[in-house]
Structure 1
Amino acid sequence: MVNTEDFSKRLHKILEFYELSAAGFADQIEVGRSSISHILSGRNKPSLDFVMKVVKSFPEVELYWLLNGKGSFPPSEKSSPETEIKKEISTPSPVQKGNSSQKNEIPFPFPQQGKSKPIKKIVIFYEDGTFDAFEN
């Protein structure tokens, strides 16, 4: 269960990091301004829909940190496995640049079988129970 007071503190931290007012934040994640007010004051608990809108609108916010306070925010500049994968996907090797048969094909660091299909989403699960999702 999410501790409402602690969740509110983490939400304040997000607002400060992005330099947003509660109203601006509500507009950004497309929820009513009163919803933000009630959650920040501790009157209401966040819904799953609310939490998912925050994570979707602000990919730097880790779901596990937002819900449980474990992990870190704001994101550090340190290199992590997911940033290495992002670099590998977004920066094709010289061999891949010249051999791409499809326009806008994204090179993928894992072996592919058969026809190449566009990648819609990659989910990385960590041993500590957290995960990161990357959508194309």
Structure 2
Amino acid sequence: MVNIDDFVKRLEVILDYYGLNASAFADKIGVQRSSMSHLLSGRNKPSLDFVLKIAEVFPDVDLYWILNGKGSFPKKEEISKNNETEIIAEIEKTSPPLPVTDTSASGDLFSGFNSNEDIKEEKRNFLETKSSGVPSNEDEIGKIVFFYKNGTFKVYVP
């Protein structure tokens, strides 16, 4: 059995949520304004037709919530256990695990990302490029950008 006083309180929550008064709500779900008034005053009990019209017009209203007060409003999408495990598996596939490094001793957050070998390799590549002197056909300049201290810049395209 539906507790009428609690039903009316939940109905008022719906009215507040959608910013409607009783007349506008009645018009929206297609019932007589007087039946809405009688329901809110506690004179009448809600009919099945009335509750179904609410659920039809306002899909965020959970039938179990409006009738018994159990559940949630607005209605939350339920995720099945199978769907939840599929989502977790998909996340694990797409995001590789981060390397675990002990940075507490050194205090350097970035020490684990570039090893000394990587840094030496980058320096060697830079020096080789710098010392070659004559650019090859692959090293054609696409554009030159000059940045000025006042925040402006100029782009030159050869």
Question: TM-score normalised by the shorter chain: which range applies?
Answer: 0.5 to 0.7
| 1:60 Cα offset (Å) | 0.4
- What is the alpha-carbon distance in structure 1 between the residues aligned to residue 11 and residue 34 of structure 2? 15
1:7 Cα shift? 0.4
Larger Rg belongs to: 2
Matched, 1:9 2:9: yes
Question: What CA distance in whole angstroms lies between the structure 2 residues aligned with 1:72 and 1:62?
Answer: 7
| Deviation (angstroms), 1:74 | 2.6
Distance across 2 between alignment mates of 1:32 and 1:10: 19
Quick check: which one's helix share is greater?
Answer: 2
Q: Residues 12-63 of structure 1: CA distance to partner in whole angstroms, max 9, x if unpaired?
A: 0000000001000000000000111111111100000000000001000000
Higher RCO by CA contacts (8 Å cutoff, separation 6 or greater) = 1
Between the two proteins, the alignment pairs up a number of residues equal to 81
> Once superposed, what is the RMSD of the aligned Cα atoms?
1.6
TM-score, structure 2 as length reference: 0.48
1:47-95, CA deviations, whole angstroms, 9 ceiling, x for partnerless residues? 000000000010000000010000111345xx6328xx8xxxxxxxxxx
Structure 1: segments with no counterpart, 5+ residues:
86-136
Answering whether residue 87 of structure 2 is matched by residue 80 of structure 1, we say: no
Counterpart residue number, 1:103: none
In structure 2, runs of 5+ residues without a counterpart are 84-158
Among all aligned residue pairs of Structure 1 and Structure 2, give the percentage whose two residues are the same amino acid: 62
Equivalent runs, 1:52-71 vs 2, <5 Å: 52-71=52-71
- Partners of 2:75 and 2:54 in 1: CA distance: 15
